[in-house]
C-alpha cells in the first residue's frame, strides 16, 4: 500500500502544476479558516450598517464547540481545487499513455487505480489534520471560556469533513478515468452539480425520501450548513450516520467501478 502511494507521489512531486495547485490550496485553506474573524471585522468596518445590524462579537464563529462545524463546512468549499488536481493527475496518464507503460512495467490495473486512491486519502487526511489544528487553536484564542467538557463536542465533524473530501475526490477520479480528458472531466465535474440539482428539484415533489441518496447531495449532507442557526433557525448540528453510510456507499462504487469496467 505504501509502495503504491510512493509510486504516485513520485509522479507528482516533480510536477510543477501539482505544487502550484496544492500550494495554493493548503495556503488558502489555512489562511481562510484562520482569518474568519478578521474578515467579519473588515466587513463591519467597511459596511457601516453591517456592523450596526449585527454585533460581530456575538457571532460565536470560533467558539467551542461551534468552531468544528463552522470551519469544516467552510473548508469543504475549497475541495473543488483538489478535485481539479486529481482530474489533471489521472487524465495526464491517459494523455501521455503512461498508464499503458505502467501496466507494461508490471502494475496491475487495480494497483494503478489504488495508487491514485491512496493519494486521494493522503490529500484528504492532510486537509483534515490542518483544519483540526486551525479549529483547535482558533477555538482556544476566541472562546470566552474553555471547558474540556464541551470543547471536543462536534469534533467528529473533522471526520465527516475527511469523508466529504475523500468521497468527492473519488468521484472526480472516476470521472477522470471514464472520460480521460482533463477539460471535459472538469466541465462535467462542475455541471454534475447542476444536473443533480435539476433531477432533484423535479423529483422532490414525488419522492422526497430519495433526495439524500444522490451522490453529491450525500456528500453535502456530511457537514450541513451551520450558519443558519445564528439567524435562530433549526440546523442539524450532529453528524448523520445515514449520510455517512450513503457517502461511503458512493465512494466505494466510484472506486470499484473503474477497476472492473
Subset of residues 68 to 97 that bind another protein, contact rule: CB under 8 A? 92, 96-97
The residue among 18 and 227 lying less far from another protein, judged by its C-beta, is: 18
Contact flag: residue 19 with another protein (CB under 8 A): no
C-alpha cell, 259: 477497476
Nearest C-alpha neighbor of 66 from the set 196, 225, 202, 172: 225
Site stretch for another protein (CB under 8 A), options 13-21, 30-38, 156-164, 245-253: 13-21
Contact flag: residue 11 with another protein (CB under 8 A): yes
Contact flag: residue 98 with another protein (CB under 8 A): yes
* Contacts (Cβ under 8 Å, ≥6 apart) of 231: none
Please report, for residues 38, 85, 151, 245, the alpha-carbon distance to residue 29 in angstroms, rounded to integers and kept in the order given: 15, 15, 22, 27
Contact flag: residue 261 with another protein (CB under 8 A): no
Site stretch for another protein (CB under 8 A), options 8-16, 21-29, 34-42, 63-71: 8-16
Nearest C-alpha neighbor of 86 from the set 26, 8, 14, 30: 8
Site stretch for another protein (CB under 8 A), options 59-67, 100-108, 192-200, 211-219: 100-108
Please report, for residues 33, 56, 156, 198, 248, the alpha-carbon distance to residue 241 in angstroms, rounded to integers and kept in the order given: 26, 33, 11, 26, 10
Contact flag: residue 20 with another protein (CB under 8 A): no
Which of 30, 37, 41, 111 is in the footprint of another protein by CB under 8 A? 111
Site stretch for another protein (CB under 8 A), options 34-42, 102-110, 137-145, 197-205: 102-110
Contact flag: residue 180 with another protein (CB under 8 A): no
Spatial contact of 239 and 222, defined as CB atoms under 8 Å apart: yes
Contact flag: residue 28 with another protein (CB under 8 A): no
Backbone angles phi, psi at 211, to 5 degrees: -55, -45
Contact flag: residue 6 with another protein (CB under 8 A): yes
Site stretch for another protein (CB under 8 A), options 107-115, 184-192, 210-218, 219-227: 107-115
C-alpha cell, 15: 510536477
Q: Strands (DSSP E) along 136-221, which ranges?
A: none
Number of residues in contact with another protein, rule: CB under 8 A? Answer: 22
Contact flag: residue 103 with another protein (CB under 8 A): yes
Nearest C-alpha neighbor of 251 from the set 175, 158, 156, 169: 169
Q: Strands (DSSP E) along 80-154, which ranges?
A: none
> Does residue 261 sit in helix, strand or coil?
coil
The residue among 98 and 240 lying less far from another protein, judged by its C-beta, is: 98
Footprint of another protein on this chain (CB under 8 A)?
3, 6-7, 10-11, 14-16, 92, 96-98, 100-108, 111
Amino acid at each position: 500500500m505504501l509502495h503504491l502511494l510512493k509510486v504516485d507521489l513520485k509522479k507528482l512531486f516533480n510536477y510543477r502544476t501539482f505544487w502550484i495547485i496544492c500550494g495554493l490550496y493548503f495556503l488558502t485553506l489555512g489562511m481562510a479558516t484562520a482569518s474568519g474573524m478578521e474578515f467579519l471585522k473588515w466587513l463591519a468596518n467597511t459596511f457601516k450598517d453591517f456592523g450596526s445590524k449585527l454585533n460581530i462579537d456575538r457571532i460565536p464563529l470560533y467558539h467551542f464547540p461551534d468552531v468544528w462545524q463552522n470551519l469544516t463546512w467552510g473548508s469543504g468549499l475549497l475541495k473543488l481545487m483538489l478535485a481539479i488536481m486529481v482530474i489533471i493527475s489521472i487524465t495526464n496518464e491517459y494523455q501521455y499513455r503512461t498508464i499503458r507503460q505502467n501496466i507494461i512495467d508490471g502494475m496491475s490495473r487495480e494497483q494503478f487505480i489504488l495508487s491514485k486512491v491512496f493519494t486521494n486519502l493522503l490529500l484528504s487526511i492532510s486537509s483534515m489534520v490542518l483544519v483540526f489544528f486551525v479549529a483547535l487553536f482558533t477555538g482556544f484564542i476566541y472562546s470566552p471560556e474553555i471547558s474540556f467538557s464541551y470543547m471536543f463536542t462536534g469534533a467528529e465533524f473533522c471526520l465527516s469533513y475527511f469523508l466529504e473530501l475523500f468521497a468527492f475526490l473519488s468521484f472526480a477520479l472516476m470521472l477522470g478515468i471514464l472520460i480521460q480528458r482533463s477539460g471535459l472531466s472538469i466541465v462535467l465535474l462542475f455541471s454534475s452539480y447542476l444536473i443533480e440539482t435539476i433531477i432533484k428539484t423535479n423529483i422532490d415533489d414525488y419522492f422526497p425520501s430519495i433526495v439524500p441518496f444522490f451522490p453529491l447531495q450525500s456528500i453535502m449532507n456530511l457537514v450541513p450548513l451551520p450558519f443558519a442557526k445564528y439567524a435562530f433557525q433549526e440546523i442539524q448540528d450532529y453528524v448523520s450516520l445515514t449520510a455517512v453510510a450513503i457517502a461511503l456507499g458512493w465512494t466505494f462504487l466510484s472506486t470499484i467501478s473503474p477497476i472492473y469496467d
